[in-house]
Amino acid sequence: MINSGDTAWVLMSAALVLLMTPALAFFYGGMVRRKNVLSVLMQCFIVMCVLSLHWVLIGYSLSFAPAKGFWGGLQWFGLNGVGLEPYADYAGTIPHQAFMIYQCMFAIITPALIIGAFAERMKFSSFLVFTLLWATLVYNPLCHWVWGVGGWLRNLGALDFAGGTVVHINAGIAALVTAIILGKRVNLDKNIPTPHNMPLVVLGTGLLWFGWFGFNAGSALAANGLAVNAFVVTNTAAAAAGLSWALIEWMRNGKPTIFGVCSGAVAGLVAITPAAGFVSVIPAIIIGLLVSVFCFAAVTIIKPKLGYDDSLDAFGVHCIGGIWGALATGLFASKLVNPAGSDGLFFGNPKQLLIQLTTVLVTIIYTLIVTLIIYKLVDLFMGVRVKKDEELIGLDLTQHHERAYTVLE
Amino acid sequence: MKLIIAIIQPSKLEEVKEELYKQEINLITVSEVLGHGRQKGITEVYRGAKESGNLLRKIRLEIAVNQNFVEPTIKAIVKGAKTGETGDGKIFVLDLEECVRIRTEERGSVAIG
């Protein structure tokens, strides 16, 4: 039976999650040098175009059509059989297409997150091919395993409320792989690029925080108590993490920065994502406070030590934050919050932590290998990196024949 | 005393700076300017309308030096900025009448370095 309140909330949430991709575009766009800001905005926007089409044609079917194997079948090709009646295995009170379009927005933002790793040096045409292959061969199968009917990680009992594994660990690992094999940006050792427009970063963060209510609270797929729980813990974790990052900077560097608060807030949102439907508010504060410690260490200590150039810290924030969130779900999950979930370690069920760990490891290994293969294939046929002089001039002019800012009128 | 003004490609600034530092020339002023000489410019497209021959973004360097630093400065700029293509830029060398360090009110050659 279709419930109008649930349907309204899920449609609204789908719109909120869509907004996260332009939000991410501003978040990333402000961080790059001004000669590359349009290239980042363009990559994010073209992902909205390309993957929306991919999703309704084959992506949804590959991800969610019931099947036991590697991915879903093609029986839902072009939304064939995906109608306006509910499909009870996913959501019993909203039209099947509402669930489909809600999931579409997740399929868009996940590959967009990876952009942060190879920003300022990837060829646009190769980026398009890479993204399409990655969506098909990495996102769709993994989405099926964790959320699809017949998916083996779902049957194992893994808890991933809104996509900590499927979205954040997945994109974060792909980010690390591409950052490492693409190599550093030119002249990075001499001149560390500073963000060209911090207000854009702040605007992007604000819109991400706003959109994340759709991401997490919408994942209840109903306008009910569970959605409210997810909403409350999402806001709480983001707040705790933003504050925590600022305090760490204050202690270590003498001054807190707005960039730090933004990074922390996003890390907090990432970490609470898998846990939002299973934990209560005190664990959310702990998850938020600690995620900034882990991500701060990854971004400011581990990254320079290992020397990979993850331009905008897609790995450091999304993967590290995502792993912490997935494991924290195994620690703090409680049936008192969600009877359909499980108890975590601190509620007497250590086995859940093990299941969470398995899911994390499977994701890391699968994504790492397949992303590497896709990258090498695209590089072989098209070349992935722009030429050195194109990189120096900037991607806006060389890839798109446009520039963001004028000097005179 | 001479004032050296150089117009170079923005993408060459890092290399020019590096060459200057190698010659121990550290006191430079950098500004962003627009202009073009023989080079017509990179074509830009706005909603399908092609525009070329626009003014181009360039970097202008100003370096005040004593006589014995003139040649090293010129060589360093050329080494860092030269690609052999049109648009590499120009170097102008001007006589400099006076130089005052505001902090100490020193004048002339001692005030330059």
Kindly report, residue by residue over A179-200, the tens digit of the pLDDT: 999 999 988 877 778 899 999 9
pLDDT at position B100, please?
Answer: 95
Does B43 contact A at CB distance below 8 Å? yes
DSSP annotation string for A230-270 = HHHHHHHHHHHHHHHHHHHHHHHHSS--HHHHHHHHHHHHH
Residue A306 to residues A173, A201, A264, A309, A310, Cα–Cα distance (Å): 15, 26, 22, 9, 11
The tokens for B111 are 């005030």
Which pair of tokens denotes residue A87? 């499909």
| CA–CA distance, A168 with A146 (Å, rounded to integer) | 13
CA distances, A31 to each of A19, A34, A191 (Å):
19, 9, 15
Cβ contact A407–B32 (<8 Å)? yes
pLDDT of residue B53: 55
In A13-116, the DSSP E strands lie at none
The structural architecture, per CATH, of the domain B2-112 is 2-Layer Sandwich (3.30)
pLDDT band at B46 (very low <50, low <70, confident <90, very high): low
d(CA A312, CA A179): 10
The structural domains of chain A, ordered by start, are 4-400 (1.10.3430.10)
CA distance B3 to chain A (A): 26
Q: Cα A397 from chain centroid?
A: 28
Among residues A91, A14, A104, A20, the alpha carbon closest in space to that of A56 is found at: A104
The burial class, CB within 10 Å (0-12 / 13-18 / 19+), for A319 is buried
Residue B36 above 80 pLDDT? Answer: no
Domain ranges across chain B: 2-112
User: Can you tell me the mean pLDDT for A373-392?
Assistant: 94
State the pLDDT confidence band at B47, using cuts at 50, 70 and 90: low
Contact state of A393 with B11 under an 8 Å Cβ cutoff: yes
The mean per-residue pLDDT over the stretch A346-356 comes to: 91
Residues A226, A338 contacting (CB under 8 angstroms): yes
Task: Give chain A's length.
Answer: 409
Rounded CA gap, A67 and A62, in Å? 9
- In this prediction, residue B52 has a pLDDT band, given cuts at 50, 70 and 90, of low
A333 and A342 in contact (C-beta within 8 Å)?
A: yes
Tens-digit pLDDT profile for residues A59-108: 999 999 998 889 998 999 999 999 999 999 999 999 999 999 999 999 99
Q: Which residue of B has its CA nearest to A408?
A: B34
Test B44 with A403 for CB contact under 8 angstroms.
yes
With CA atoms as reference, the chain A residue closest to B12 would be: A392
pLDDT of residue A318: 95
Q: How would residue A133 be classed by pLDDT, with cut points 50, 70 and 90?
A: very high
- How far lies A2's CA from each of A56, A80, A97, A214, A223, in Å? 22, 20, 12, 20, 12
- Decide if B54 touches A, using CB distance below 8 A: no
Query: Is residue A296 scored above 70 in pLDDT?
Result: yes
Instruction: Provide the pLDDT for residue A46.
Output: 98
In a mutagenesis test of the B interface, which of A189, A390, A393 is the best target, namely the one with the most B β-carbons within 10 Å?
A393
Whole-model pTM: value is: 0.90
Distance from CA of A185 to the nearest CA of B (A): 14
Long-range contacts of the stretch B108-111 (C-beta < 8 A, 24+):
B108/B1, B109/B1, B109/B66
Tokens of A271: 């970490």
B32 touches chain A (CB under 8 A): yes
